[in-house]
Amino acid sequence: MTGDQTEPTRTELEKLGEFGLIEKLTGDIKLVNKSSVLGVGDDAAVINPDQGLVLVTSDMLLEGIHFDLTYSPLKHLGYKAVAVNVSDIAAMNGVCQQITVNIGLSNRFSLEAVEELYQGIYQACATYNCDLVGGDTTSSKAGLSISVTALGTVHPDRLVQRSGAKEHDLICVSGDLGAAYMGLQVLEREKQVFMANQEMQPQLDAYQYIVGRQLKAEARTDIVQWLSESDIKPTAMIDVSDGLASDLLHISKQSNCGLRIYEEKIPVDPATKDAALEFKLSPTTVSLHGGEDYELLFTIDQKDHQLIESQPGISIIGHVTDKTQGCSLFTASEELLEIEAQGWKHF
């Protein structure tokens, strides 16, 4: 569905061998961060953390579980594999500096396909200003596996964990929620149509925003920067990867607090609403449980209320309560519902 119609050159990976492939993929790297002392090409990369703490996070994306190459262009996939890790560093209020990338490839991938994947990886490195400093490239018996580790830095005074939310804090979220999930529903539907009749071309124009949110994940490093410039330090923060409900429960559990959010305050894009209704889903359910939005969910002290309120693109969706009050959603029809996790369960 996503491939070119013209048949491009195909160079078999076995012609290059592992070292040839690594040289081809990483030979042009120019390290941009001062902290990146030594990159690809030795037994390990060498990093000189300029100051403060080092953050490390790692995520694995597996074909057939996290992505479907029928509709995920390899370039977007490479970009996303980096972005989701940068997002985790951002969720600690840190800045990503280096990444390592491990790739397992079956022989159905050509050099050109792998280069497309790496184009996305390098584009993400450019966007987020981080260096690819190492990794591993191997063959695979079963499709494509991508495992990315991101290293970041944060000043000790700026570190934000999931555990710092306290009663009366405001709960904030960046951007809007549920779009990535609805994008996935549209892509899955069009795939079914295409599988049934390969003459049918996918109808995606009307769904550009939500499909883009699924395929082109972005880490909200701009929010981390704005928080720093505004001298606001969230009391707790997490990125919305599993879904708003699930991620709220993480904050509640680790901060040992209750919380209440308001249905009418949850930011949902009109395109997400339209698609949800078309699929006979509740937009609220989609925004609560959709996941993969990679927005930042954070709590702030009330003293920062005005600064946050005047900032476009950040919504205050509720507040932190005493633990005994549990986690609840105040609906548009003025009911109080308990929030339960229904995030991605791969098993």
Minimum distance between the CB of residue 238 and a copy of itself, rounded to whole angstroms?
A: 6
Minimum distance between the CB of residue 326 and a copy of itself, rounded to whole angstroms?
A: 18
DSSP lists the bridge partners of residue 192 as: none
Q: Specify whether the CB–CB gap between 299 and 253 falls below 8 A.
A: no
The nearer residue to a copy of itself, 17 or 270, going by C-beta atoms, is 17
Q: Specify whether the CB–CB gap between 84 and 294 falls below 8 A.
A: yes
Distance in angstroms (rounded) separating the CA atoms of residues 138 and 142: 12
The nearer residue to a copy of itself, 41 or 270, going by C-beta atoms, is 41
Minimum distance between the CB of residue 330 and a copy of itself, rounded to whole angstroms?
A: 26
Minimum distance between the CB of residue 273 and a copy of itself, rounded to whole angstroms?
A: 29
Of 170, 236, 13, 228, the closest CA to residue 103 belongs to 13
Minimum distance between the CB of residue 215 and a copy of itself, rounded to whole angstroms?
A: 19
Tokens of 149: 């580790």
Is beta strand 327-330 parallel, antiparallel or unpaired with respect to 336-338? antiparallel
The nearer residue to a copy of itself, 285 or 342, going by C-beta atoms, is 342
For residue 186, give the 3-state DSSP assignment.
helix
Minimum distance between the CB of residue 12 and a copy of itself, rounded to whole angstroms?
A: 8
The nearer residue to a copy of itself, 37 or 195, going by C-beta atoms, is 37
For residue 207, give the 3-state DSSP assignment.
helix
Provide the 8-state DSSP code for 169.
Answer: P
**Residue 182's CB: how many other CB atoms inside 10 A?**
30
The nearer residue to a copy of itself, 67 or 79, going by C-beta atoms, is 67
The nearer residue to a copy of itself, 32 or 46, going by C-beta atoms, is 46
Print burial letters for 10-44: b (CB count within 10 Å at least 16), e (below 16). eeebeebeeeebbebbbeebebebebbeebbeeee
DSSP lists the bridge partners of residue 146 as: 61, 103
Sole residue written with tokens 């395929």? 215
The nearer residue to a copy of itself, 245 or 271, going by C-beta atoms, is 245
Minimum distance between the CB of residue 254 and a copy of itself, rounded to whole angstroms?
A: 7
